[in-house]
Copies of this chain bind each other. A is one copy, B any other.
Amino acid sequence: MPAKDAPSLPPTALAVLGILSFGRELSGYDVKKWADSSIRFFYWSPAPSQIYAELRRLEGLGYASSRDAPDGDARGKRLYKITAAGRRELRRWLRDAPAEPPVLKHGVALRVWLGHLADPDTLRATVEAHRDYCTHMAEGLERSHAVAEEQPDFAYPALVTEWGRRYYEAERELAEKMLVDLEDLAARG
């Protein structure tokens, strides 16, 4: 019986455990692919090396169990599965831990903030690149959404992918407005 006053796992561990919580038996490699195709759009995707480390930690805590892949499958492959204790821990976290405020590190905004030091053309190009990046992310989320809607147990992920699409849509519009404001500022001098 682990976890007395469990000092709450780091975000990455929770995220990995969360991926396992959909019930599939996954290798570290699989977890990385999942992360890349879903949570990386609104959270982030840990480095492979850390995923393996987190899986070992989760197993150590009894939140996941693992077994070697059956013969015929790639040798050395290890499959992880969430345990009842792991599911309990996730539920506990969702219920008890206050939601941390979203972390936003917006390098583009920082650059505009420092506009007095930048060449106007570079600045504009930066914001335009960001606008295109938003379009790109929105497209990624559409694909992710399509996948989620096929699976009956992915109702919540589908909600979030749709939320994410709207988010990047809005971000794109904000970039568009920013370009106008930048133009105005340059005109007024």
How many copies of this protein are present in the complex?
2
> What CA separation (Å) do A177 and B152 show in the bound complex?
22
Task: Report B-chain residues with C-beta under 8 Å of the C-beta of A105.
Answer: 11, 43-44, 102-103
Tell me the count of chain A residues lying within 8 A, CB to CB, of chain B.
62
Chain A binding surface, main DSSP class = helix
Task: Report B-chain residues with C-beta under 8 Å of the C-beta of A170.
Answer: 167, 170-171, 174
Q: What is the 8 Å Cβ interface bit string for chain A, positions 86-128, against chain B (1 contact, 0 not)?
A: 0100110011000111111111111111111111001100100
B159 touches A178 (CB 8 A): yes
A160 touches B109 (CB 8 A): yes
> What CA separation (Å) do A160 and B40 show in the bound complex?
26
Instruction: List the interface of chain A (C-beta within 8 A of B).
Output: 11, 14-15, 18, 21-22, 38-39, 42-44, 87, 90-91, 94-95, 99-119, 122-123, 126, 129-130, 133, 153, 155-157, 159-160, 162-164, 166-167, 170-171, 174, 177-178, 181-182, 185
